[in-house]
């Protein structure tokens, strides 16, 4: 019988459904719930029984220390499933180094993140910051003359990363009439979602063609600090940046300088370096910047989608089959 570690919140919400699913598929499963309370700890004997663990969204951030304390003390742990998509945190490298199989919930938040990114694009493209600023001042201030926004149709969006988020963004952007260029390491995949697809080595020559730079790639050794002052300078004057990936991909001071100088026409930013964004950061006050607190994925259906991905993998794991969204061991 496999022993699965879950949070007490997950157990309360999905424990009965999980037990039913396991029974239907002939899986002998003992579900072990973390004790409630941030300071509560799983006892050593229970930790030693754990074969698999689910890091669900309700654990982060308040119960993360409690959860990973138990996971670290589980010598039999063979598989860890994470609710999130990014696995750049050191704890995941630690698990992989131990030989623990790691899977993610990639795809569970692709739609809400892409929709939020599109909303940010539309707000900037239609110059909502102008109207919102006027509203706060109780001013009737229609846009006229040079303030009138360009048509979005016919503009070009350059999407860095064509995972599920990047592909969904591309689909929505093309429906709005944009041309979409995709950049990813493996150009044999994801090409149908975009008008063009190129490897990262072509980034410098693609930037001058791009009205929008959409950052949707994972944080890796190759992408950390990828967007520099030189990168931003290659974008046309007035181009905009959208980042729903990781703050560390962009040199934040260079981004601020490009926004303050007027070279960039605006930005929608959901991620920063560091996080939380310090109260004295200029990004809070820049009139052409929309800030959200690393929250673009929020949606009521996320937990259900994570549950479905996890239970599919649970069936696969119990049968010795290939797992969905398994992370390869090695540097990311």
- Active-site residue numbers? 246, 275, 294
- Residue 33 · residue 46 · CB < 8 Å: no
Short-list 325, 313, 331, CA closest to 106? 325
Half-sphere exposure of 67 (CA within 13 A, CB side): 25
Short-list 275, 225, 278, CA closest to 255? 225
Alpha-helix runs per DSSP H in 177-251:
203-206, 229-233
**Residues 6+ away with beta carbon under 8 Å from 155:** 125, 178, 179, 211, 212
What is the token pair recorded at 140? 């009737």
- Residue 295 · residue 119 · CB < 8 Å: no
- Residue 160 · residue 216 · CB < 8 Å: yes
Give burial (CB, 10 Å; 0-12/13-18/19+) of 199: exposed
**Residues 6+ away with beta carbon under 8 Å from 14:** 307
Q: Which residue has the tokens 């909502």?
A: 128
> What proportions of the chain, in percent to the nearest 5, are helix, strand and coil?
40, 15, 45
| Alpha carbon distance 21, 314 (integer Å) | 10
| For helices 64-72 and 90-97, angle between their N-to-C axes, nearest 10 degrees | 20
Question: What is the largest distance, in Å, between two alpha-carbon atoms of the chain?
Answer: 72
């Amino acid at each position: 019988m496999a022993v699965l570690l879950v949070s007490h919140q997950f157990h309360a919400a999905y424990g009965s459904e999980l037990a039913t699913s396991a029974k239907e598929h002939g899986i002998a499963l003992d579900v072990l719930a973390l004790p409630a309370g941030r300071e509560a700890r799983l006892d050593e004997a229970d930790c030693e029984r754990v074969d698999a663990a689910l890091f669900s969204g309700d654990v982060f951030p308040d119960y993360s220390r409690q959860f990973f304390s138990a996971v670290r003390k589980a010598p039999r742990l063979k598989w860890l499933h994470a609710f999130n998509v990014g696995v750049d945190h050191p704890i995941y490298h630690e698990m992989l180094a131990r030989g623990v199989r790691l899977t993610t919930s990639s795809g569970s938040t692709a739609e809400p993140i892409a929709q939020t990114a599109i909303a940010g694009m539309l707000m900037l493209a239609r110059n909502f910051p102008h109207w919102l600023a006027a509203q706060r001042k109780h001013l009737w201030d229609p846009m006229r003359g040079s303030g009138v926004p360009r048509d979005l149709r016919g503009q070009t969006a350059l999407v860095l990363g064509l995972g599920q988020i990047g592909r969904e963004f591309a689909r929505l952007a093309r429906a709005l009439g944009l041309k979409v260029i995709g950049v990813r390491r493996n150009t044999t995949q994801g090409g149908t979602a975009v008008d063009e697809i190129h490897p990262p080595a072509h980034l410098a020559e693609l930037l001058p063609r791009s009205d929008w730079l959409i950052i949707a790639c994972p944080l890796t050794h190759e992408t950390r600090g990828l967007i520099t002052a030189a990168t931003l300078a290659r974008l046309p004057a007035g181009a905009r940046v959208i980042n729903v990936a990781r703050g560390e991909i962009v040199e934040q001071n260079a981004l601020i300088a490009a926004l303050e100088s007027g070279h960039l026409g605006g930005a929608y930013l959901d991620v920063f370096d560091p996080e939380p964004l310090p109260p004295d950061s200029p990004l809070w006050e820049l009139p052409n910047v929309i800030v959200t607190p690393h929250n673009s994925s929020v949606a009521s259906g996320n937990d259900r989608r994570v549950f479905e991905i996890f239970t599919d993998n649970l069936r696969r794991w119990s049968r010795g089959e290939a797992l969905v969204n398994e992370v390869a061991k090695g540097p990311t």
